[in-house]
A and B are shown apart, each in its own frame.
Chain A
Amino acid sequence: MLPIIFVLPILQLVILSNAATFEIKNIKFSYVDHDKTSFSRALIEKFDASTYFNVVAEFPSKKEANAAMAKGKVDVILEIPRYFERDLLKQKNTAISVAINAIDGAAAGVENVYINQIVQDFNKKAKVALSSPSDTVNAPKDIVTIPSFWYNKTLNYKTFMVPGILVLLVTMITLFLSGMNIVREKEIGTLEQMNVTPIKKYQFIIGKLFPFWILGFVLLTVGLTIAKVIFDVPIIGSLGLIYFYTAFYLLVVLGMGLFISNFTDTQQQAMFISWFFVVIFILMSGLFTPIESMPMWAQYITEFNPVKYFVQVTRMVMLKGAHFNDILPQLTKTIIYAIIMNGLAVWSYQKTT
């Protein structure tokens, strides 16, 4: 069991961190060129040159292109109308049609942005080519935005996904193991045997949970090492602060595990309830979807999500170099959470046994 506890999270961290990306590459791009001029070819070349698009096919008509889309062979169809070049030269205005496979809505949105960028870039170049020297004086200056991504200069998604996934793994393993552990004692009857001994409740509970508290730290250490060695995630802030925060955070998770085990009789039940909470915690942690884009009521719910605070703290400390005072709000909420959760757990432990 012990090797599994460590090997699985490491595998998950390595695999998930590579897989959980919002970048979309290798988009299957196809086009229908009714114009066949140097302009239309230039536009298509721009797509071809992009690393995001693979030009997989040219179709003689829209009908065939649509059939290919239906079969899933292409993701994007660009249709260039007849007289594309002529219209552009004469009227300085034309339209092209783009069809995107939106089976995966999130991917379609990203693809749309990519396509727009390429078309706009083409527009600009075309404008320069088309404008006569006399126009240049009056031509409006394009406003160019140069984004600067703070704390993650290259917008490397691994930099912000790895700390988040690390947090999830620490949470999941400690919650599952602690939740199932006391239930297991119930199942095999040792809990009853322990209850007829003079051992005190608090001694028993601490004895049961302390190993998982330590285990949480070990997992965190292993995860941080992988983050640094394999993914080269910057660790700007103090590691001590992360460990300090984790000490309290693990208390929340362990209290929750104990609470669950008090209300369940078998490991299956405990597993089922733990999963229920873990899934909610993960999806509402702000790891995969920003909390700011959730509806108001959902944002209120995330206040009760300890994973959210842990994700925030690790990202703040690792990427931004946040200090103790910066994470104080999260730390305070976590400590309150830990007190309530463990209070409930100990109270219900006395009630049910």
Chain B
Amino acid sequence: MSISVQHISKSFKKVTAVNDVSFELKEGELFGLIGPDGAGKTTIFRILTTLLFADKGTATVAGFDVIGDYKEIRNNVGYMPGKFSLYQDLTVEENLDFFATIFGTTIEENYELIKDIYVQIEPFKKRRAGALSGGMKQKLALSCALIHKPKVLFLDEPTTGVDPVSRKEFWEMLKRLQQKGITILVSTPYMDEAELCDRIALIQHGKILQIDTPQEIIKHYPKKIYDVKADNMYRLLESLKSFEHHYSVYPFGEFVHYTDKREDFNPQELQQYLATKNHQNIKIEITKTTIEDTFMELAK
């Protein structure tokens, strides 16, 4: 086991941030913690990176206990916090050099590992880190977290505030790192990224709702989901919510995701109902279940 978390709990004064959380990561796994803001993701990261003590429970990272062997862990993990936290007034190169020195290594020694990422920011290596764009900052932070060839990589919301193209690139980089045998624990509030992980844990209010592969999690969804569309979205939502057989109704992009209480639901019936409510251009189609749907269902 690369990471093992057993019954971890942590409270801050009256707020319970993490409540009896357990999960395990196999070596070389890309594992996602998926949940909304305030779900307790960052607290779990801080406990695993030895920055915080858990109130209850035990955890090991790369075979080391997070309390007893914290020094070993610090030599063996890379941590990229959600907030950009490198020295803004050092240049790209200086930052990388600085972190390499702290870990007792050099850029040359582990250049192979960061090469793919670093070449993209190398043209700006004389630029101060503070003057980089969001996507480049992420790449630099990832390079710094990898410079000592860690066994486990912790990425706390690495793609929050990053443009879609850079996000896609970033996940491709993670896939490549995974192939090099690095275990990666990543958290994200974006449900679409969840499907890129090997396994995910859905987390809310400090509790894990479900752990499985994204495919399995979607399979477990009990209902058929329908995309509903009409001219006036707001009125459509209102109408659907007042439909007596509705099970769940929530907006999803340009559609409304609708599920019905009944097993033998006929979309035709809903179409007629909406027509009586004076909706125009009504479209109802069955759709594929996504992680987001599952999450909304579990989080109910």
Contact = CB atoms under 8 A, between A and B. Distances in A.
A90 B79 CA distance: 99
Nearest to B77: A196
Contacts of A198: 71, 74-75, 102-104
Interface size range of chain A in the complex:
10 to 19
B124 interface: no
A349 to B, nearest CB: 14
Given A195-B51, A196-B50, A196-B77, A189 B103 contact: no
Contacts of B75: 198
Interface in A147-194: 188-190, 192-194
Interface string B84-96: 1111100000000
A197 B75 CA distance: 7
A196 B85 contact: no
B50 A189 contact: no
Interface of A: 188-190, 192-199
A195 B81 CA distance: 12
Interface in B113-170: none
Contacts of A195: 50-51
Contact of A193 (B77, B79, B88): B79
A188 B87 CA distance: 8
Specify the main secondary structure of chain B where it touches its partner. Answer: loop
Nearest to A353: B51
Contacts of B188: none
A198 B64 CA distance: 14
B161 to A, nearest CB: 14
A215 B34 CA distance: 48
A141 to B, nearest CB: 75
Contacts of B84: 189
Contacts of B258: none
Given A197-B102, A198-B103, A192 B51 contact: yes
B83 interface: yes
Contact of B99 (A188, A189, A192, A197): A197
Contacts of A194: 102
B43 interface: no
A196 B79 contact: yes
Given A188-B88, A189-B81, A190-B87, A196 B103 contact: no
Interface in B59-111: 71, 74-75, 77, 79, 81, 83-88, 99, 102-104
